[in-house]
Each structure stands twice: as C-alpha cells, then as structure tokens.
Amino acid sequence: MRQQIAAANWKMNLTLAEGQQLLQDILSKSPELSSHQQVVFAVPFPYLAMAQEAIQGKAGVAIAAQNCYSKKSGAYTGEVSVPMLQSLGIGYVVLGHSERREYFQESNQFLAEKINISLEYGLKPIFCCGEPLAIREANNQNAFVGQQLQESLYHLSATQLQQIVIAYEPIWAIGTGKTATSEQAQEMHAFIRSQLSAQYGEAVAANITILYGGSVKGANASELFSQPDVDGGLVGGASLIVEDFLAIIKALK
C-alpha cells in the first residue's frame, strides 16, 4: 500500500509553550501506526528544533518545515536554507502552499528550484497544487493543476519523483469551511495520478502519495480518506485541535 500520511500544518500559529503542549498531547494519545502510515508536523521555523527533539523515539512521526529558500546560502536575510533544515534532521518541507503562491507570488518555476535543492539534500517535498474558485467554476481545474505539475515536477527523473508527496488543495476550500465532496477529491486525485502515469508510467504513479488539503476535519476525514486515490491529508486548522487531529490520524487507511 502507498504511504498514508496525516500532515499537520500549523501555519503561523501557537507560542512555543503552546506548540510543546500540543505535540505532547497528540503524541501521548496517538494510536500505534502501521508501517505504511506516517504523521508529519509542519511547524513554524522557530519550533523545528523543539519539535524534532519531541518526536525522538516515536515510530512513524516526522517533522516538516513550512517552506525553504531556493539557494544553499548567501545574503538572503530572513530566509531559511535546505542545508539548515538538513542539519536539524528535518525530513520534509512543504512547498507551493496556496498561501505562498498567493501572498508571496511564488511561481511554478521558483518552486521547481526549491524542489531541486530539497531533493539534493535529502528532504522530501510535500508539493501543493490546486485551483482557486474562479478556475473551478469555469471547469478549468484539470488544465490549471496539470500546468502546476508540468512546470514544477516534470523535469524530475522517475527516481526523484518518487521522493515527492503531492498535496491537492482546492484553494476555495481552505479556511472557508467549504470542503470538496469526497467524489470531487477523488476525481482530482485520480486526474493527478493519471497525469503522472502518462509522464512517468503507471508503476511510478501508483506509488506516489497524494494528500487532500482543504478543511479536513475529524468528522469528514474517514469519508475523504476512503477514496482510492486519497492517501491522507494536509490539515490546517483541525491540526491545532488535539481530538480532531487524533481522529484524522485514526482515519488513515
């Protein structure tokens, strides 16, 4: 079975003490994970070392950075490099989140550079893609997401691609309370997998983990994750609520 992931994206939330407490509460109550299941916490940069220490000895749990820069080092005040993340033992990095694309104007080409350097240093990118409401209403979501995949991922070899986790996030369902139906989620996840299959072959595409990200909650996780091409979730607000995120972990296939 493909790796199934419950990824918590804390975004710009919580003080250090609150983050420590949240991690402790979730880790102390988390169910035992199967070998194909993983929990990932994408925490703000100042908390990476704390979080990495907190998960020591916890099987199936990893820490992600919420972003990185495209250069190894240099005069880029305020940025964080992949070698810095690697030196902390961080396993994943979230790239291309809709908020980074919208607020910071990150392009598909810029994200390709970030993906390259992340892979170079052994970090697994969680690559986000997805369409805004206007694109969905015009029924152009497949072409839009297909272009995101092509411009950011298709320069990779098949071996490199298999180090990528993809997160489909319908932008119109992030923080709005709206959620794509399980059928809509499955339809887009199947489309993404079909595009990867056309580019890299069915065997490669069948092994790529594709997460759903868009108002995932404890109440809807089981239905979403039951879809054949949905391999878990990239979770925002609900990941800050202990019982909600525990329910999401338990909903993994």
Catalytic residue among 99, 106, 131, 169: 169
pLDDT (0 to 100) of residue 33:
97
Collect all residues with Cβ–Cβ distance below 8 Å to 9 and sequence separation of at least 6: 42, 66, 94, 97, 213, 234, 235, 236, 239
Check: CB of residue 44 under 8 Å from CB of residue 22: no
Contact between residue 31 and residue 6 where contact means Cβ atoms under 8 Å apart: no
Task: Let me know if 97 is a catalytic residue.
Answer: yes
| Kind of pairing between the strands at 210-212 and 61-65 | unpaired
Q: Write the CA distances from 135 to 8, 140, 195, 198, 226, integer angstroms.
A: 27, 5, 19, 23, 26
Closest among 233, 169, 231 to 205, alpha carbons compared: 231
Assess contact for 136 and 170: CB atoms under 8 A.
yes
169 among known catalytic residues = yes
Helix/strand/coil percentages in the chain, nearest 5:
45, 15, 40
Task: Label the pairing between strands 232-235 and 165-168.
Answer: unpaired
Catalytic residue among 97, 99, 131, 189: 97
Q: What pLDDT is stored for residue 178 in this prediction?
A: 72
Question: Alpha helix (H) ranges present in 32-126?
Answer: 48-54, 82-87, 98-104, 108-120
pLDDT in tens, the chain (253 residues): 899 999 999 999 999 999 999 999 999 999 999 999 999 999 999 999 999 999 999 999 999 999 999 999 999 999 999 999 999 999 999 999 999 999 999 999 999 999 999 999 999 999 999 999 899 989 999 999 999 999 999 999 999 999 999 999 999 887 677 778 999 999 999 999 999 999 999 999 999 999 999 889 999 999 999 999 999 999 999 999 999 999 999 999 9
Record the pTM.
Answer: 0.97
Domains of the chain: 4-250 (3.20.20.70)
